[in-house]
Structure formats: structure tokens, C-alpha cells
């Protein structure tokens, strides 16, 4: 339990869709610090003992559960919810999967694949990927947001103007996130916690890992944000930068196709250099490689680059 926290919200207080009529998990004054027990994105359907066949059995109606919602007194439409990420309490267990039909290269990787991770939750030492790689860890919450003004249930899968499934790796400890509020009380929820992820989450999963998240919720009155914004406390790639990068590019008139080309080439490079299966290279790229737009002004062609950190393989 968090001694410095004002409240703890247990993982049983979760929901599977954004809905401004969801039953509240907590009402609180602004400025309070809360510990949220978060399930992994499978909702506990995958465990340290899971095998490949368990991926095919996933109930997709129970994925991406988020803990909450929290009603913040005084919050009103037009305000911003200021979310200070205080700390993460990782579990030591995680998983990465290639799920048919999901991911940037879904048409190229139609087979199911699963990697079970075990890591030290105290030291967060790099987690081993078979005999080929060790991935530096950086915990964060993939899904973090508030309720939409529109009534009814809205899927937690796509990101939205009020947050949601943002999958932004840099929403790590020390970051301050600002979310546009559309309903009275804000109705904040968080989940989909990750031990590590590359920018782009290209295969569709990161190191999906249940963990507790400690957050302070406050208000910025009349902020009138159109979309979320955030501030980081310092460098964001230092845990990966030490040995440099291997970089592949995609060039053309379509950014999405450029991203696919850059990632596909990196998969080929990794599998040929290490001997790992292409689907394993694809999943590894998802948990530690970064997609970047290198150039978007020299029309009619744009450049997308995929950065794979060499420290992972050394």
C-alpha cells in the first residue's frame, strides 16, 4: 500500500469502456494522491504460466480494462485535469504477443506468437528476450483519460481527444499530463500498464504488465485544451541511447506505408543478423524500437525512420 497516498483504488473497480454513466470508484477533492491497482491489457486472461494457445482464447470484450472512474470535485467542462505521475509499482510479470489481424504489419504476420517476460520489479534491470536481447525497462500507463461528453459506452481501444489508449511511452514517472475535461467531475480512469514499449507499438502489444500506478489529480480551471498535452521531467531516451541505433527508413507519399516499409526492413535486418524468427523480431521491435517522422515538408515524398537501440543486442 502507498503510505503517502490519500486513497487506494483496487483493481476490481475497473471497466471496459468509457461511459459518463459508469459507477464511480471514488469521489475526491483536487490535489489528492491516489494509488490505482491496474490490470494488464488482457484483463488477467494471460499469466506467467500462459502458453501460445491461450492467446487464441482471449475474450476481446475484456481487453484494456481501466481502473476508475474517479470523480474530481469542482471539475467542469473546459477545465483540464492535471495528472502528475508519481510512481509505478511493477509486478515483475509481462507478456508480448502477435495477435492475428492486429498491428502495423498484420498482413505480413498472420501467425500467433507469445513472449512471457519475467523481470525484477525492484531494480527494473533489463528484461531478457530469449538469448538474443535484453530490453531496458520504462514503466508507464498506456491508457489514461477521462470520460467523453457523448452518452453511451465508447471503446477503450482507440485514443480520443480526452486521452484514452494513448500508448505514449514518455508518460512515465515524473511526467505531468493535462487532459481536456468534457463532463462534470472529469471521471478519470487509468490502466493498460506497460513495463516497456517502443514509440509506435508496432506489433500492437508492448511488455504488457499489471502494476500499481500512483497519481496526483488536480485541476487547471478554464484551460480549454483541444487535446492532451504533457511535460517530461528530463531526457526521454537516455535508457536506450548509450550504444546508438540501427535505423531503417520508408520513403514515399504515404506516411502509413512509409512506416510499414521502415518496420518491415528492420524486421528483416534483425532476423538476418541474429537468427531470430521474423515474428520474434517484429515483437522485439514493438517493445523497444521507435518510429519517427524524419521529414514531412519535402513534398511529394515524406521520410519515416525506425530506430532500433543497439544496446538491446549488446
| pLDDT tens track for 162-213 | 999 999 999 999 999 999 999 999 999 999 999 999 999 999 999 999 999 9
Q: If you average pLDDT over residues 68-96, what whole number do you get?
A: 98
Q: Round to whole Å and give the CA distance between 287 and 157.
A: 18
CATH class of the domain defined by 239-313: alpha beta
pLDDT at 1 exceeding the cut of 70: no
Q: What's residue 290's pLDDT?
A: 98
Q: What's residue 186's pLDDT?
A: 98
Q: Round to whole Å and give the CA distance between 143 and 145.
A: 7
Q: What's residue 129's pLDDT?
A: 86
**Average pLDDT value for the chain:** 96
Q: Round to whole Å and give the CA distance between 299 and 242.
A: 34
Q: What's residue 198's pLDDT?
A: 97
- Decide: 186 and 81 in contact? Cβ < 8 Å: yes
Rg (CA), the chain: 19
Q: If you average pLDDT over residues 123-136, what whole number do you get?
A: 92
Report residue 142's pLDDT band, with 50, 70 and 90 as the boundaries.
Answer: very high
Two domains, one topology: 7-231 and 239-313? no
pLDDT at 2 exceeding the cut of 90: no
Element (H, E) at 35: strand 32-38
Q: Round to whole Å and give the CA distance between 172 and 153.
A: 28
Q: Round to whole Å and give the CA distance between 105 and 235.
A: 30
Report residue 85's pLDDT band, with 50, 70 and 90 as the boundaries.
Answer: very high
Per domain, the residue ranges of the chain are 7-231, 239-313
Q: pLDDT tens digit string along 39-63?
A: 999 999 999 999 999 999 999 999 9
| Architecture in CATH for domain 7-231 | Sandwich (2.60)
Q: If you average pLDDT over residues 268-290, what whole number do you get?
A: 97
Q: What's residue 104's pLDDT?
A: 98
Closest to 188 measured CA to CA, from 176, 175, 179: 179
Amino acid at each position: 500500500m502507498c503510505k503517502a497516498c490519500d486513497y487506494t483504488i483496487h483493481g476490481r473497480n475497473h471497466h471496459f469502456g468509457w461511459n459518463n454513466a459508469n459507477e464511480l470508484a471514488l469521489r475526491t477533492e483536487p490535489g489528492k494522491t491516489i494509488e490505482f491497482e491496474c490490470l494488464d491489457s488482457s484483463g488477467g486472461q494471460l499469466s506467467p504460466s500462459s502458453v501460445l494457445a491461450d492467446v487464441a482464447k482471449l475474450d476481446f470484450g475484456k481487453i484494456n480494462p481501466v481502473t476508475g472512474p474517479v470523480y474530481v470535485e469542482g471539475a467542469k467542462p473546459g477545465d483540464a485535469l492535471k495528472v502528475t505521475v508519481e510512481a509505478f509499482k511493477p509486478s515483475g510479470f509481462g507478456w508480448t504477443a502477435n495477435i492475428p489481424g492486429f498491428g502495423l504489419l498484420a498482413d505480413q504476420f498472420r501467425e500467433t506468437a507469445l513472449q512471457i517476460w519475467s523481470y525484477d520489479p525492484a531494480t527494473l534491470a533489463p528484461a531478457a528476450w530469449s538469448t538474443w536481447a535484453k530490453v531496458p525497462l520504462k514503466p508507464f500507463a498506456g491508457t489514461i483519460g477521462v470520460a467523453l461528453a457523448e452518452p453511451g459506452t465508447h471503446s477503450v481501444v482507440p485514443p480520443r481527444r480526452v486521452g484514452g489508449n494513448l500508448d505514449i511511452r514518455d508518460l512515465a514517472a515524473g511526467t505531468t499530463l493535462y487532459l481536456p475535461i468534457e463532463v462534470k467531475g472529469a471521471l478519470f480512469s487509468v490502466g493498460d500498464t506497460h513495463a516497456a514499449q517502443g514509440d509506435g507499438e508496432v506489433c500492437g502489444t508492448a511488455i504488457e504488465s499489471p502494476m500499481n500506478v500512483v497519481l496526483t489529480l488536480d485541476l487547471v480551471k478554464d484551460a480549454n485544451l483541444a487535446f492532451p498535452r504533457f511535460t517530461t521531467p528530463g531526457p526521454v531516451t537516455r535508457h536506450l541511447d548509450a550504444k546508438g541505433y540501427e535505423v531503417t527508413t520508408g520513403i514515399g507519399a504515404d506516411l502509413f506505408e512509409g512506416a510499414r516499409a521502415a518496420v518491415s526492413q528492420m524486421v528483416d535486418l534483425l532476423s538476418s543478423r541474429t537468427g531470430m524468427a521474423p515474428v520474434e523480431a517484429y515483437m522485439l521491435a514493438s517493445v523497444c524500437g521507435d518510429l519517427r517522422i524524419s521529414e514531412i515538408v519535402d513534398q511529394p515524398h515524406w521520410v519515416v525512420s525506425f530506430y532500433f537501440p543497439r544496446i538491446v543486442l549488446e
